Structure 1
Amino acid sequence: MKLAAIDMDGTLLHTEKEISDQTISTIQRLQQEGHAFIIATGRTLQDAKNIVTTAGIPADGYICANGAIIADRNGHILTEKHLGLHVATDIASWLHERKFYFHMATSEGLYATEDAYQFFLDDLQAYAHEKNDGGKMASAIRDQADRQLNNMEVKMLPAPEDIPSYDFNAYKFLVLSLFPNKLETISDAWEANPSITLTSSGKDNIELMPFDAEKGSGLTLMAKQLGIAPENTIAIGDNYNDLSMFKTAGFSIAMGNAEADVKQYADTETADNDANGVAKAIETHILGIRH
């Protein structure tokens, strides 16, 4: 029996944020043959669970918010790590003052400030202004962002200083910007803070989380929970927030669309997320199907 821990964005999901029919049927076969499938994502538990359940492949466990939340197949939380509300307030205030788009994942769903979407549009307009075909590109990015935001059901946070008045746990912040040098200012300001850790799931974002939250430790816990030896775990991912999982797993597989310096930490590579890379990896390395 093996355990496949699979990232979502850029891995399980193709560019249109859906799971291909081939990948669905391959994961169903994986489970039918007695292997385990868990999700390891930066997304919230509710979001991750809804996506795979709707697709007909409910997972055997969930590592969500990059390891801040570990839950069993029924969505019951086994362990969670969160930012103190005062730390969350400091982060939110700092980001808001510098006009970053961010949303905060909490035990009561996703929250963003009322100004956040306008900050995103301003960033997008400035980015488009620098590009030759910027208007068309900006329109496509905005359409995709609007679809994602609608699906995520983000709640409004009147102002960062209101955070301590809420009765929720803050799991992580996702900050978006199309300017890498702008994102670097976040790293420069916060990476020395002992209460948080920074990671990324793409060139356009940075994530701020509790210092001890990571997918790797989540994979260790889930393998133990399911009675699977560490050497029988396989991790599939595409980005920096998957590296701790790559180091922990018995075998690691980078997507064809993964960042080049992420690929060097993986044991092997599969096709990209729009070419059924997850299905091909499972078929080759777990089901023993040769292509």
Structure 2
Amino acid sequence: MIKLIAIDLDGTLLTSDKTISQRNKEAIKQAKEQGMKIVLCTGRPIMGIRTFLEELDLVSEHDHCITFNGGLVQVTETEEILAQKAHTKADVEHIYDVCFSVGLPINAIDLEKVYEPIYPSHNRSLYPDIINNLVFERRNIDSFDADHMFNKVVSCCPQDVLDSKIAVLPETFKNDYTLLKSRPILLEILPKDVDKGYGLKCLCELLNIKAEEVLACGDEENDLAMLTYAGYGVAMGNATQDVKNAAKYITDTNDADGVAKAIELYVLHKGE
């Protein structure tokens, strides 16, 4: 029996215009009424999903979210941290050096802000153009205290540029960190072994919920680990082919209430 529903945001729960459809809201509401735990699982920090949590009434002391692509598990009401794996300042300085050497711009993100180094860069970061509800600051990484922690680093630039630069990143670098694309133009660099599957596993262990009792919905490469961890891994109709190949089930697209249709079929058992 399904006890927890983990849902990605962009390209999954959110439509192309970044809203939640009425049918998705109603399906989530009905699942909650049947005792299901609803968990938003995203690459964004909690401050970037607060409006969606409130819209879905997922802001009580019993509600949780998984942010930074699995690097942080929090109570949504208080933002209490239940599990965290983050970069050190030294990590971020190393990441910057390697990315700069191949021409990739970076932004480092902590619990408060998104930081863009003031160093010259071969390509301007597009991250401020695609992300809302976050505070950006131009600040060099070396100005932080040695013990400062960063939750992730991103590189955002045109897809052809990004893909060509990823191809020439050193293999040792790729082995030292988790590199995931959450959008065609967005590379996320996380601490080693961190992904949405890791964050979901941490939360399930805290809640004593088994993997086979989880339904997860996603569409992009950064959702793969979550979908393969869950007993019910559901790919969106608009998902990448790799995600569809890895998922156990495929639902409709994010613009056609795909999340609601999956919940209705596998949780609410409508239309059987």
Q: Which band: TM-score by shorter chain?
A: 0.7 to 0.9
Q: Does 1:273 align with 2:254?
A: yes
Gaps spanning 5+ residues in structure 1: where?
Answer: 124-141
Pair 1:155-2:137 in alignment: yes
Residue 72 of structure 2: aligned partner: 69
Equivalent-residue separation in structure 2 for 1:276 and 1:231 (angstroms): 24
For 1:272, give the aligned amino acid: T
Look up the match of 1:138. none
Deviation track 1:146-202 (CA, whole Å, cap 9, x = no partner) reads 4x4452222222x3443x447631111121122335434235324423431111112
2:156 is matched with 176
Cα deviation for residue 62 of structure 1 reads 1.3
Q: 2:186 is matched with which residue? A: 205
Structure 1 match to 2:168: 188
**Which residue number corresponds to residue 30 of structure 2?**
29
Tell me the CA shift for residue 18 of structure 1.
1.7
CA shift in 2, pair 1:227/1:179, >3 Å: closer
Match of 1:256 among 234, 237, 251: 237
Cα pair distance change 1:264/1:160, threshold 3 Å:
same
Q: CA 1:165 to 1:183, structure 2 compared with 1: closer, same or farther past 3 Å?
A: farther
- SS of 1:16 mapped into structure 2: coil
Does the Cα contact within 8 Å between 2:47 and 2:134 map onto a contact in 1? no
SS of corresponding position for 2:138 = strand
* C-alpha contact (below 8 Å) 2:237/2:253 kept by paired residues: yes
Instruction: Give the number of the structure whose residues are more often helix, by fraction.
Output: 1
RMSD over aligned Cα atoms: 2.6
Between the two proteins, what is the percent identity of the paired residues? 29
In 2, Cα distance between equivalents of 1:239 and 1:106: 23
SS at match of 2:183: coil
CA contact (8 A) 1:65 1:172 kept: yes
- Are the counterparts in 1 of residues 3 and 37 from structure 2 also a CA contact under 8 Å? yes
Q: Which residue of 2 aligns with 1:238?
A: 219
Conservation of the 8 A alpha-carbon contact between 1:65 and 1:105: no
Select which of 95, 102, 109 maps to 1:105. Answer: 109
- SS in structure 2 of the partner of residue 152 of structure 1: coil
User: Comparing 31-40 with 170-179, which one deviates more in the overlay?
Assistant: 170-179
The residue number in structure 2 matching 1:134 is: none
- 3-state SS of 1:19 partner: coil
Contact map agreement 1:220 1:230 (CA 8 A) in 2: yes
| 2:20 aligned partner, one-letter code | I
Deviation at 1:3, TM superposition (A): 0.7
TM-score by length of 2: 0.87
Structure 1 residues 197 and 101 mapped into 2: Cα distance closer, same or farther (>3 Å)? same
Cα pair distance change 1:44/1:67, threshold 3 Å: same
Which amino acid is 2:216 matched to?
A: A
Deviation at 1:283? 0.8
Aligned residues: 266
2:56 matched to 1:52?
no
Residues 118, 90 of structure 1: alpha-carbon distance in 2 compared, 3 angstrom cutoff: closer
The alpha-carbon deviation at position 101 of structure 1 amounts to 3.8
Cα distance change, pair 190–285 in 1 and its aligned pair in 2 (3 A)? farther
For structure 1, which segment, 84-93 or 191-200, has the greater mean C-alpha deviation from structure 2 after superposition? Answer: 191-200
Change in Cα spacing, 1:117 to 1:236, as seen in structure 2 (3 Å) is farther
